[in-house]
Amino acid sequence: MRKPKDWGQSCPNPECTHYRRMQQGNVSAIATYLTQSGKRRIFRCHTCVTHFAETRETVFFDLRTSEEKVMMALKMLLVRVDLTGISFVLGVTEETVLAWLRRAAHQAEEINCHLLRALPVTQVQLDEMWNFIERKHACETDAAGESLPDGEDGRQWVWISFAPEFRVMIAAVVGPRTLDTAKEVVAATKARVAGIPAFFSDGFTCYLAALIAAFHVVTTFARTGKRGRPRKPRCEPHPDLVYGQLVKQKKR
């Protein structure tokens, strides 16, 4: 009997017994289709009879742009070319580049969820990487320097949590410069590290609140037997939580 070819594909159907399992002999190629980047295949899982495309669950799925162009945009982002520059070079809108980045970030998250667990990290740097879209009205912030959540300015930041010991990016989130995004990146970090590492950041005010939201202890008080309302439980920073801010100042 002919051995089924291993296409490097696994079944994407969570209900299937072969879900995400490689080299089980359940997948075969049944058709091809043409994309901007050439021929791609359609596969079938024989276990659950699901059909799926080669590019599913990738950054490229169902894009009307060539894979090469998307990769180029992502590479330029990595070397910190701003959105305006990328959109000029590739002839696409800034919104399109941002949409690609979101997809890439989402995919990276999926992969990280599987690979990054219980990392023995002792230090984490938190950073908002850069302000993409520099428009004149992008400076609208509240008094604490937070951008307005639904700000019309379209301003997006890339939030990074980074472990310098391993040079590993633990989590990356694209979002506005708000407490909610800070909480998101801290929660994603917490899910991937073992214990409570020491955190360092710039002077952005929201991190402290976000860190306490993730790492705290709740003290409850036993009833005293006396009259009156019992004391409310108190939420305090976890005793192992260490947080330092590095605030740069220019010399006059």
| Residues binding Zn ion (CB under 5 A) | 11, 13, 16, 18, 45, 47-48
In the bound state with Zn ion, the residue whose beta carbon lies nearer, of 16 and 168, is: 16
- Chain Cα centroid distance, residue 52: 25
Q: How far is the CB of 32 from Zn ion (least distance, A)?
A: 20
For Zn ion, which is the closer residue by CB, 11 or 241? 11
- The neighbour count for residue 60, using CB atoms within 10 Å, is 23
Q: Which is nearer to Zn ion, 48 or 213 (CB)?
A: 48
User: Nearest approach, Cβ of 15 to Zn ion (angstroms)?
Assistant: 8
For residue 106, the minimal CB distance to Zn ion (Å) is 23
Give the C-alpha separation, 236 to 241, whole Å. 10
Name the residue among 167, 191, 185, 84 with its Cα closest to residue 127. Answer: 185
User: How large is the angle between the packed helices 67-78 and 83-90, nearest 10 degrees?
Assistant: 150
Residue 208, CA distances (Å) to 167, 213, 236, 240, 245 in order: 23, 9, 12, 14, 9
In the complex, the smallest distance separating the C-beta of residue 10 from Zn ion, rounded to whole angstroms, is 9
The nearer residue to Zn ion, 23 or 36, going by C-beta atoms, is: 23
Q: Minimum CB separation from Zn ion for residue 20, in Å? A: 10
Taking the least distance from each CB to Zn ion, the nearer of 18 and 177 is: 18
Looking from the CA of 224 toward its CB, the CA atoms found within 13 Å total: 7
List the Cα angle 159/104/63 in 5-degree steps: 145
